[in-house]
């Protein structure tokens, strides 16, 4: 009798298929994965169970919950979710259990919320997380215990003033680190903070308050973007060990000098942006540089350009020729001085006005 | 699910999980990529760079471009030239007020277009017919022209909340021939439920508007509707029989309105599982307001009914009012948030 009653009670629930949205991201032909909700051994008994949160869209393991005015992370997210987009909401805090069960999550987008607190255990279940986007929040520090699987961390436009070594400890898969528009000071960056990130290839610390190139950057770095800071000079030490660096962005600082030999430390540099600084002469070492192809020097205080400032003496030993815009507009420079450069240098073939060398006032 | 034969690439996901290739190849062969952006596995990341225009030298085989959070004012005619493989374009959080009518012409596979948080005053004309998802949240859109979605037979998701759109702003016929499944026009100026949205709708979200009533013919076209969001409006009346047009409905949100009683017709909705009615003016619950009578059976039991923050006297509610719920905690009566 009791059993019969139970049966009657459960019957309608069994007839009702678990709710799932269909037809949404058909185009995410991602694959084999079933579009249906995962089978739930713990059905809707407690609350609503793991269905797609109301107003979100869930399909093929992408959960899209942006622009909903959410004040917290929705509960009962489908456990097979690989991408969770929560951008443009009003989330203030990431709590310990917010991502429990999401062990397949690859990308977590929390951009443009009001997050000021992240529980140290919140990310613990995310064993496969590769991308963590925390930009436009109110974080004072990067969270500790970020998943070791991370390849990309973005925390642009927060209130981060300190970068501690402990935060990056063990994050040896990180390739991209973007920390721009934060009140970071040079003194707030712990010595060797980035050293453990053995795969780090791209770092951007733009529009902060740092006054020098951070020390102890890993040799794996291919791009270093430090524009819009308060850096006043480049010394050789700042770039030492960066043998793989290909792109260096230092525009909009107050750099007045580049120590001789600095560019020797970055032998594979291809692109150098030093526009909008206080330079009075073309940085030394460009002429001997083998791979450099793009140099931005406009909006500095360079009054004259030497014949050998850009191109090597003697036979052309450059392995790559200048391409793209070599913009060298500076107050006082006359186009004629570039003509002199052009006519007398040995890399003149690659050095043509106006396409490769632009001069503007 | 429908076939998608216009794109036979193997990895169609927004964020390919394949390992990015670190360029340790000879530096002469360094792949092109706009300065400051990252280009790998055919994804170009250029967010947060303060860019004032769409950069040149984007690799021509790019599938996704992330340009969010910049200062781009305009999408120009040739900005996307050559990007025939482009599949997703994120332009949200910029200052875009102008999109050239031919700007999207070079794209042949664009499926997702994110334009939220910009300054657009209308749905751009000549959007790619291939689009499956369009997000244009928090712009200044006042008007949806008759031809705005013309020929966009793959469009499935439209999010255009937080725009100053009223009912007259939707030109008749604007949604003709499109098969959108999910529409959200929340935080707008709607005073009634738009009647000319696509009949393919599975989800309709109109929360935070100024809708005052649900009328008999409102859902005539939306026979397949499964989820309906009407929270935070000014709904006083739900006309008898309105819900009979949406027999597949599973979830109705009517919280934060001005309802004086439970809307009629709920017991006939066999698949209805969730009804939010909290924060209304409901003073009385009838014993047959939610559950069918006689031999009729629900196909799905209620898993969530919210009634808190209503002047209802809970001690007067007959227990059998909730005879068709899944579990005791499926009903929230008291004045607390679960």
Cis ω for the linkage preceding A354 (within 30 of 0): yes
- The whole-number pLDDT of residue B22 equals 42
Interface of B with A in 118-147 (CB under 8 A): 132-133, 135, 137-138
ipTM over 0.95: no
- The band of B328, judged by pLDDT with boundaries at 50, 70 and 90, is confident
- The answer to whether B32 contacts chain A (CB < 8 Å) is no
- The whole-number pLDDT of residue B154 equals 93
Give the integer Cα–Cα distance in Å for A93 and A125.
17
Interface of B with A in 219-258 (CB under 8 A): 226-227, 229, 250-251, 253
Contacts of A291 in chain B (CB under 8 A): 27-28
Q: Which residue of A has its CA nearest to B160?
A: A67
- The whole-number pLDDT of residue A316 equals 56
- Distance from the B23 Cα atom to the nearest Cα atom in chain A, whole angstroms: 8
- Token reading at B164: 């100053």
Q: Please answer yes or no on whether B15 and A202 come within 8 Å at the CB atom.
A: no
Residues B79 and B56 sit within 8 Å (Cβ to Cβ): no
Average pLDDT over residues B288-308: 92
Give the integer Cα–Cα distance in Å for B317 and B288.
11
Q: Which of A47-51, A190-194, B178-182, B246-250 has the lowest mean pLDDT?
A: A47-51
pLDDT tens digits along B207-216: 999 999 999 9
Pairing between β-strand A176-178 and β-strand A326-327 as defined by DSSP bridges: unpaired
Interface test with B, best of A30, A67, A242 (most B CBs within 10 A): A67
Contacts of A8 in chain B (CB under 8 A): none
- The answer to whether B36 contacts chain A (CB < 8 Å) is yes
Q: Please answer yes or no on whether B303 and A47 come within 8 Å at the CB atom.
A: yes
- Distance from the B81 Cα atom to the nearest Cα atom in chain A, whole angstroms: 19
- Token reading at A201: 């290839």
Burial class (CB in 10 A: 0-12, 13-18, 19+), B201: buried
Q: Which residue of A has its CA nearest to B225?
A: A21
- The answer to whether B41 contacts chain A (CB < 8 Å) is no
A27 → closest Cβ in B45, B93, B132? B132
Q: Please answer yes or no on whether B28 and A12 come within 8 Å at the CB atom.
A: no
- Nearest alpha carbon to residue B161 among B134, B197, B180: B134
- The whole-number pLDDT of residue A350 equals 45
Residue % of chain B over a pLDDT of 90: 83
Contacts for A248 with CB less than 8 Å, ≥ 6 apart: A223, A224, A239, A266, A269, A271, A272, A273
DSSP state of B179: -
B306 DSSP β-pair partners: B276, B332
- Say how many residues make up chain A: 361
CA distances (Å), A192 to each of A173, A179, A262, B146, in order? 17, 16, 20, 60
- End-to-end Cα distance, chain B: 36
CB pairs under 8 A between A and B: 170
Pairing between β-strand B43-45 and β-strand B38-40 as defined by DSSP bridges: antiparallel
Residues B63 and B42 sit within 8 Å (Cβ to Cβ): yes
Q: Please answer yes or no on whether B13 and A220 come within 8 Å at the CB atom.
A: no
Burial class (CB in 10 A: 0-12, 13-18, 19+), A274: buried
Give the integer Cα–Cα distance in Å for B202 and B199.
9
B327 → closest Cβ in A15, A45, A268? A45
Interface of B with A in 275-304 (CB under 8 A): 297-301, 303-304
Q: Please answer yes or no on whether A273 and B35 come within 8 Å at the CB atom.
A: yes
Interface of B with A in 171-210 (CB under 8 A): 181-182, 184, 202-203, 205, 207
- Nearest alpha carbon to residue B145 among B160, B124, B114: B124
B203 → closest Cβ in A21, A26, A130? A21
pLDDT tens digits along B226-243: 999 999 999 999 999 999
- The answer to whether B274 contacts chain A (CB < 8 Å) is yes
Q: Please answer yes or no on whether B304 and A47 come within 8 Å at the CB atom.
A: yes
- The band of B25, judged by pLDDT with boundaries at 50, 70 and 90, is very low
- Distance from the A156 Cα atom to the nearest Cα atom in chain B, whole angstroms: 7
- The whole-number pLDDT of residue A105 equals 96
Q: Where are the beta strands (DSSP E) in A301-347?
A: 326-327
pLDDT tens digits along B49-103: 999 999 998 999 999 999 999 999 999 999 999 999 999 999 999 999 999 999 9
Contacts of B45 in chain A (CB under 8 A): 176
Contacts of A319 in chain B (CB under 8 A): 28
Residues B259 and B281 sit within 8 Å (Cβ to Cβ): yes
- Distance from the A192 Cα atom to the nearest Cα atom in chain B, whole angstroms: 22
- The answer to whether B63 contacts chain A (CB < 8 Å) is no
- Distance from the B60 Cα atom to the nearest Cα atom in chain A, whole angstroms: 18
Contacts of B132 in chain A (CB under 8 A): 25-27
Q: Please answer yes or no on whether A66 and B137 come within 8 Å at the CB atom.
A: yes
Element spanning A6, H or E: helix A2-15
Give the integer Cα–Cα distance in Å for B193 and B165.
13
- The answer to whether B109 contacts chain A (CB < 8 Å) is no
- Distance from the A48 Cα atom to the nearest Cα atom in chain B, whole angstroms: 6
Q: Which of B14-18, B168-172, B214-218 has the lowest mean pLDDT?
A: B14-18
What integer best gives the mean pLDDT of chain B? 89
Give the integer Cα–Cα distance in Å for B149 and A39.
37
Contacts of A178 in chain B (CB under 8 A): 48
B157 → closest Cβ in A24, A30, A273? A24
Contacts of B117 in chain A (CB under 8 A): 88
List of chain A residues with pLDDT < 70 = 1-50, 314-361
Q: Please answer yes or no on whether B36 and A319 come within 8 Å at the CB atom.
A: no
Contacts of B324 in chain A (CB under 8 A): 12
Give the integer Cα–Cα distance in Å for A196 and B214.
61
- Token reading at B57: 């030298």
Contacts of A181 in chain B (CB under 8 A): 48
């Amino acid at each position: 009798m009791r059993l019969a009653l139970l049966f009657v009670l459960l019957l309608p629930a069994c007839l009702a298929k678990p709710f799932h949205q269909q037809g949404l991201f058909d185009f995410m032909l991602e694959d084999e994965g079933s579009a249906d909700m995962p089978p739930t051994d713990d059905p809707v008994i407690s609350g609503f169970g793991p269905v797609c949160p109301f107003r979100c869209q869930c399909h093929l393991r992408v959960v899209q919950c942006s622009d909903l005015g959410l004040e917290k992370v929705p509960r009962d997210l489908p456990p097979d979710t690989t991408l969770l987009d929560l951008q443009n909401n009003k989330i203030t805090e990431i709590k310990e259990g917010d991502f429990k069960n999401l062990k397949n999550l690859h990308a977590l987008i929390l951009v443009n919320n009001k997050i000021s607190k992240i529980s140290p255990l919140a990310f613990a279940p995310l064993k496969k997380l590769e991308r963590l986007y925390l930009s436009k929040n109110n974080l004072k520090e990067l969270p500790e215990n970020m998943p070791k699987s991370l390849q990309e961390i973005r925390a642009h436009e927060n209130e981060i003033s300190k970068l501690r070594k402990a935060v990056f400890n063990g994050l040896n898969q990180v390739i991209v680190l973007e920390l721009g528009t934060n009140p970071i000071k040079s003194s707030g960056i712990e010595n060797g903070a980035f050293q453990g990130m053995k795969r780090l290839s791209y770092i951007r610390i733009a529009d902060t308050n740092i006054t020098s190139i951070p020390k102890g950057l890993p040799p794996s770095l291919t791009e270093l973007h430090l524009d819009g800071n308060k850096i006043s000079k480049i010394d050789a030490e700042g770039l030492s060990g960066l043998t793989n660096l290909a792109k260096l962005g230092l525009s909009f600082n107050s750099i007045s000098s580049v120590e001789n030999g600095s560019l020797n430390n970055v032998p594979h540099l291809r692109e150098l942006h030093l526009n909008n600084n206080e330079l009075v002469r073309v940085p030394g070492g460009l002429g001997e540089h083998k791979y450099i192809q793009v140099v931005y020097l406009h909006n500095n205080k360079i009054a004259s350009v030497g014949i050998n400032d850009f191109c090597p003496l003697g036979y052309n030993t450059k392995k790559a020729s200048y391409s793209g815009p070599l913009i060298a507009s500076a107050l006082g420079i006359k186009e004629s001085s570039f003509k002199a450069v052009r006519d007398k240098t040995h890399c003149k073939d690659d050095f043509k006005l106006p396409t490769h060398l632009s001069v503007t006032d | 699910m429908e076939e998608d034969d216009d794109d036979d690439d193997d990895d169609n996901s927004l964020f390919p999980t394949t390992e990015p290739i670190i360029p340790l190849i000879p530096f002469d062969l360094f792949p092109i990529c706009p300065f400051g952006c990252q280009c790998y596995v055919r994804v170009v990341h250029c967010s947060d760079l303060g860019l004032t225009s769409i950069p040149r030298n984007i690799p021509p085989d790019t599938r996704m471009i992330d340009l969010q959070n910049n200062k781009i004012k305009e999408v120009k005619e040739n900005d996307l030239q050559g990007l025939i493989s482009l599949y997703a374009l994120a332009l949200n959080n910029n200052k875009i007020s102008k999109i050239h009518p031919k700007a999207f012409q070079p794209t042949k596979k664009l499926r997702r277009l994110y334009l939220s948080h910009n300054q657009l005053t209308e749905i751009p004309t000549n959007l790619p017919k291939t689009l499956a998802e369009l997000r244009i949240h928090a712009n200044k859109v006042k008007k949806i022209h008759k031809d705005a979605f013309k020929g966009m037979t793959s469009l499935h998701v439209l999010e255009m909340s937080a725009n100053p759109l009223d009912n007259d702003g939707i030109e008749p016929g604007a949604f003709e021939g499109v098969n959108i499944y999910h529409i959200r026009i929340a935080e707008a100026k709607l005073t009634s439920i738009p009647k000319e949205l696509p009949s393919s709708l599975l989800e309709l979200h109109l929360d935070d508007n100024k809708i005052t009533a649900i009328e008999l013919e409102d859902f005539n076209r939306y026979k397949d509707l499964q989820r309906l969001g009407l929270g935070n409006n000014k709904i006083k009346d739900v006309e008898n029989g309105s819900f009979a047009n949406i027999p597949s409905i599973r979830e109705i949100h009517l919280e934060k309105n001005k309802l004086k009683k439970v809307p009629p017709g709920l017991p006939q909705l066999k698949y209805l599982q969730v009804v939010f009615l909290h924060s209304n003016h409901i003073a009385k619950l009838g014993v047959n307001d939610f559950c069918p009578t006689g031999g009729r059976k629900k196909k799905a039991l209620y898993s969530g009914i919210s009634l808190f923050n209503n002047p209802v006297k809970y001690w007067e509610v007959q227990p059998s009012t909730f005879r068709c719920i899944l579990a005791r905690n499926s009903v929230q009566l008291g004045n607390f948030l679960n």
